[in-house]
């Protein structure tokens, strides 16, 4: 196990920023469509439910992390479940993050190729994105925290601004009434799909031991969850109000279309989608590099490596292959759906089981903890 001093490397604000930036990623680009897919107008409720579910899971993970304040999830998994089972589950989590990262990069590259660089081969776009992501993941966690902190407002403010601007063309008649006799099952189905855009918060399982003040982690964790949730709800309402439910269901990139349809003449730029993509590169990049950092860190802890850096570089080619594996956008979306179901199960069920185990073991767990030190 790596014996480095963890505490004090990430400030609380950086902790929030990492959560925000990891959540805000590729999910929100397709969120409006997923939200209305089963629930129609009640999609707004689905999104709120999904965000609440993610909050609960986030809090459980933080609680769990606070039980082992100087350990990442990959370390306390081995304490709770034993060495072998712990490593297997850790490996499973890493695989999930790995596929998630690969698809985040792929989804975004698809968008770039369709929207702004139609003549550029997607491979080149992916390679550049990968190199950039690896550049940050290769650095230490302090740098990761700083970069996330630097970008959190650069990501939030443009998307918020552009979404609010798009309300100009919206009609409230499309939004209301929210309930049109949808069954609870449909709402829940939509919730499950919308949950994908809140995935990424599980990165706290790795970041938590590095935070300066452990007591504040819940408060700042909630702050980190709140901003993307509000943003998501606003985006969904705006999309429904502009397109209406039925058109929305047919859009591939609903959020992107929303921005595209917005014109703001006071700016020099007539079409804002390129500017949107430019800022969204940042959102995507932070998601991917935070996850890649988590993967490399976890991998290093499973394999007893001293530095996560070695893994970052060796994972790049694999990540590239995975990102290229779906043949087209349609296949990609189907795969993303599978990943999101895996994510739903992993982030909902695993933390609860672990928390119960930790409670049961109570002091016994701590004894092992002290022994291993």
Partner 1 sequence: MFWDKITGKKNIENIEEDKKEINKVGLEDSVRKNEEIIKDLIGESSDVVFRKFNLAKDEESPAMLIYIDGLTNTDILNLHIIKPLLSDLKEEDLTENSIEEQVDLITESIVTTHEIKLEKKMDKLITAALSGDSILLIEGLSQGFIIASKGWDARSISEPTTESVIRGPRDGFTENLRTNTSHIRRRLRDPGLRVKGVAVGERSKTDIAILYIEGVANPHIVDEIMNRIKSIKVDGVLESGYIEQFIEDSPFSPFPQLQHTERPDKAVGNLLEGKVAIVVDGTPFVLIAPAVFEQFYHSPEDYYNRTVIVSLLRVVRVIGLMISLALPALYIALTSFHFEMLPTVFALSIAGGRAQVPLPAYLEAFLMEGIIEILREASVHLPNVIGSTIGIVGGLILGTAAVDAGLVSPAMVIVVALTTIGSFTAPTYSVSNAIRILRFILMILASSFGLYGLVVGLIATSIHMASLKSFGIPYLTPYAPSRLEDLKDSIIRFPLWKMNFRPTLMRTKNSKREEAKEEGDKN
Write the DSSP symbol of residue 104.
H
**Residue the block writes with tokens 């999309």:** 239
Residue 10 Cβ, how far from partner 1 at the closest point, in Å? Answer: 9
Q: CA-CA distance, 91 to 258, in Å (whole number)?
A: 39
Q: Which is nearer to partner 1, 53 or 282 (CB)?
A: 282
Whether 40 and 225 have beta carbons less than 8 Å apart is answered as no
Give the residue with the Cβ less far from partner 1, 199 or 277: 277
Pick between residue 134 and residue 354 the one whose CB is nearest to partner 1: 134
DSSP 199-222: TTGGGHHHHGGGBS-GGGHHHHHH
Least separation in angstroms between residue 322's CB and partner 1 is 21
Q: CB 356 → partner 1: shortest distance, Å?
A: 36
128 or 164, CB closer to partner 1? 128
Question: Could you give the CA distance from residue 338 to residue 204 in angstroms, rounded to a whole number?
Answer: 23
Minimal CA–CA distance to 310: which of 143, 145, 138?
Answer: 138
Least Å distance, CB 239 to partner 1, is 22
CB of 331 to partner 1, least distance (A): 24
Q: Please identify, using beta-carbon distances, which residue of 125 and 204 lies nearer to partner 1.
A: 125
Pick from 315, 308, 280: nearest CA to 294: 308
Shortest Å, Cβ 270 to partner 1: 4
- Return the number of the residue (99 or 141) whose C-beta is nearest partner 1: 141
Select from 66, 68, 85 the least CA-distant residue to 76: 68
Residue 96: phi, psi to the nearest 5? -60, -45
Nearest-angstrom CA–CA distance, 170 and 156: 21
For partner 1, the closer CB: 278 or 338: 278
C-alpha–C-alpha distance, residues 337 and 325, integer Å: 15
Where do contacts with partner 1 occur on this chain (CB under 8 A)? Answer: 11, 13-14, 112, 116-117, 120, 124-125, 128-129, 132, 135-136, 139-140, 142-143, 145-147, 149-151, 265, 268-271, 274-275, 277-279, 281-282, 285
Using left for φ > 0, alpha for ψ between -120 and 50, and beta otherwise, residue 328 falls in beta
Q: Least distance to partner 1 from the beta carbon of 340, Å?
A: 26
């Amino acid at each position: 196990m790596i014996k480095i001093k963890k505490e004090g490397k990430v400030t609380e604000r950086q902790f929030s920023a990492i959560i925000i930036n990891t959540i805000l990623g590729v999910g929100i680009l397709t969120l409006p469509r997923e939200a209305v897919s089963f629930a129609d107008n009640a999609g707004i409720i689905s999104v709120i439910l999904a965000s609440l579910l993610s909050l609960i899971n986030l809090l459980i993970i933080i609680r769990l992390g606070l039980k082992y304040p100087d350990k990442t999830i990959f370390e306390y998994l081995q304490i709770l479940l034993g060495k072998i089972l712990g490593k297997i589950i850790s490996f499973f989590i890493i695989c999930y993050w790995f596929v998630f990262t690969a698809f985040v990069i792929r989804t975004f590259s698809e968008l770039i190729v369709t929207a702004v660089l139609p003549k550029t081969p997607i491979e080149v776009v992916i390679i550049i994105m990968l190199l950039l992501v690896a550049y940050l993941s290769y650095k230490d966690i302090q740098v990761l925290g700083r970069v996330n902190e630097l970008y959190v407002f650069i990501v939030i403010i443009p998307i918020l601004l552009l979404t609010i601007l798009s309300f100009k063309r919206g009609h409230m008649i499309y939004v209301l009434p929210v309930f049109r006799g949808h069954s609870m099952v449909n709402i829940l189905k939509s919730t499950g799909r919308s949950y994908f855009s809140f995935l990424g918060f599980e990165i706290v399982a790795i970041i938590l031991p590095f935070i300066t003040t452990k007591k504040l982690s819940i408060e700042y964790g909630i702050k980190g969850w709140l901003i993307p949730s509000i943003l998501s709800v606003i985006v969904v309402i705006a999309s429904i109000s502009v397109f209406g439910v039925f058109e929305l269901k047919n859009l591939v990139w609903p959020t992107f279309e929303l921005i595209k349809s917005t014109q703001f003449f006071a700016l020099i730029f007539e079409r804002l989608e390129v500017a949107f993509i430019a800022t969204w590169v940042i959102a995507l990049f932070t998601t991917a590099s935070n996850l890649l950092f988590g993967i490399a860190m976890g991998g290093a802890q499973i394999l007893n490596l001293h530095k996560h850096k070695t893994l970052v570089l060796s994972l790049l080619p694999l990540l590239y292959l995975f990102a290229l594996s779906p043949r087209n956008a349609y296949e990609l979306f189907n795969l993303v759906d599978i990943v999101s179901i895996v994510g739903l199960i992993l982030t909902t069920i695993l933390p609860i089981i672990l928390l119960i185990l930790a409670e049961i073991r109570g002091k016994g767990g701590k004894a092992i903890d002290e022994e291993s030190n």
